[in-house]
Every structure is written in C-alpha cells, then in structure tokens.
Amino acid sequence: MQLKRWIRLKTNIFAHRGASKYAPENTMPAFQKAYHMNADGIETDVQLTKDNIPVLIHDENVKRTTNSVGLVSKLSYQELKELDAGSWFSPEFKGIKIPTLDEFLNWIKDKPLYLNIELKNNKIDYTDIESIVYQAISNYQLLNRTTISTFNPNSVKRLKEYSNSLEVAFLTSKRYKSPIRVAKELGANALHLKYRLLHRELVENIHKENMKLRIYTVNKPVRIMRSFNHQVDGIFTDVPDLAFHYRESVT
C-alpha cells in the first residue's frame, strides 16, 4: 500500500554540491558526475566575489576547499580563478577551478536537470545577491526549473518581492514548532529541512499548503529509503548513484 503511494509521487534526487562524494564539491567534475549518475537535479552554493561575480563555493572562506586562504568577498574573480579547488579532494582533480554561476548555467542549460541554487547569504548578507543570481538564471531561461533557497529569512522575502513567480525555498535546521507556518509567512514555496526534522505529518501538511518539502543531506541507505517512503518532494545527497539505485529498486 505504502509502495503504491510512493510510486504516485516521485522523490527527486538532487546531487548535493554535485556528486560530492566522488569529486570535489561545487566543481564542474562533481556536476558532470551527478548528471551521469542520473540525478534529477543539482544543488549548488553561491557566494559573491569582491567584484560581485557569483561563484560556486560553499564556505565564505576559500581555506577548506582550495590551496589558499581568504574570504571570497575580499578576492576579485581574477584572483579567485587562480586557485586550485581540486587538490584538497584528490590529486586526480589538481588544477580544477572554482566555477562561476554563469559557467554552471551554460553547462546545465541543455541538460534535463533541475537546479537548486542556494544563496550563501546567511553569514554575509551580500548586497543584491538576489537580483544578480535571478538575472543570471533568467538570461539562460532556466527560471522554470530552478529553485532558489537560502537560510536567510529576509532574503526569502526579498526574493519573493523581486519575483513572485520564482520558486523560493526557506532552508532551516532549526526545530520550529511549525516550520511550515514560518516558511509560509515568509512567502516561500518550499521548505528545505535538515533530515533529523523529517516526520510523516510534515509531508502531508505541507502538501495541503501546496508547498514542497525537500530534505538534506541524505546519504545513508536507511535515510534515503525513509525519505522516499515519506514521499518528500526531493532529497539532497552526496551519493546520487546510490539514491537512484534505491529508487529504481522499489519501482
């Protein structure tokens, strides 16, 4: 019975920072691998350089994922593109660059993939990041398969004010009494929630509001299967190949 209900509503598999178990996160090889592993979509993180170029990197500081140190917001794009964003992961990826949002959009535009662009503006509230990112996605005519998400509640509101038709997700790991109500009050179309906060009633209730629920970061088989079983709209996973395998096995 439950299986039939699940088949009715397919849970989308989003590769978290690309297929980040197999290639350095938020790089073109990680996105390419995700595509070849049959992901339905790709999740990536955007920060702005000193000269306001949107680039794909999770942390505010380049230290963890490159061969240098310093805030992205203090580096020009010219400086940033000299960095090696692959060697920290494995010598196989030596010399891989931090991609720009533009490079990513140009690559994905002719592939059947959804996009989840996360604005990393909860620690640094970058001026105009909403309009910069929106315009870039619009230029590639990708708005109809994009969700923009953010942990920053004010940014959710700004995005919806900027474009009411845009799908915007409120991201949270906080245990709100009613996360759906919080997301709805912000004007969000979707709630992107940490895995430990998932429960079945949430899925039923969010669908009554015509909103979507996606869950991060879901890597363990038992969690992948539980998310499918709860009929969430999407999961973010570092292992899209594994998630695809499990989804295939129950259809």
What are the residues binding ligand G3P (CB under 6 A)?
16, 43, 45, 58, 118, 149, 171, 192, 216-217, 236
Give me the least distance between CB of 120 and ligand G3P, in Å please.
7
Q: Which is nearer to Ca ion, 150 or 231 (CB)?
A: 150
Give me the least distance between CB of 171 and ligand G3P, in Å please.
6
Binding-site string for Ca ion from residue 60 to residue 99, where x marks contact by CB under 5 A and - marks none: ----------------------------------------
Cβ atoms 52, 128 nearer than 8 A: yes
DSSP string for the chain: -HHHHHHHSPPEEEEETTTTTTS-TTSHHHHHHHHHTT-SEEEEEEEE-TT--EEE-SSSBSTTTSSS-SBGGGS-HHHHTTS-SSTTT-GGGTTPPPPBHHHHHHHHTTSS-EEEEEE--SSS--TTHHHHHHHHHHHTT-GGGEEEEES-HHHHHHHHHH-TTSEEEEEE-S--S-HHHHHHHHT-SEEEEEGGG--HHHHHHHHHTT-EEEEE---SHHHHHHHHHTT-SEEEES-HHHHHHHHHHT-
Give me the least distance between CB of 201 and Ca ion, in Å please.
26
Return the active site residues.
16, 58
Q: Which is nearer to ligand G3P, 139 or 173 (CB)?
A: 173
Contact flag: residue 238 with Ca ion (CB under 5 A): no
Q: Which is nearer to ligand G3P, 134 or 236 (CB)?
A: 236
Q: Which is nearer to ligand G3P, 36 or 64 (CB)?
A: 64
**From 23, 31, 39, 45, residue interacting with Ca ion (rule: CB under 5 A):** 45
Q: Which does 192 bind (CB under 5 to 8 A by kind): ligand G3P, Ca ion, none?
A: ligand G3P
Identify which range of 37-45, 138-146, 183-191, 217-225 contacts Ca ion by CB under 5 A. 37-45
Give me the least distance between CB of 214 and ligand G3P, in Å please.
8
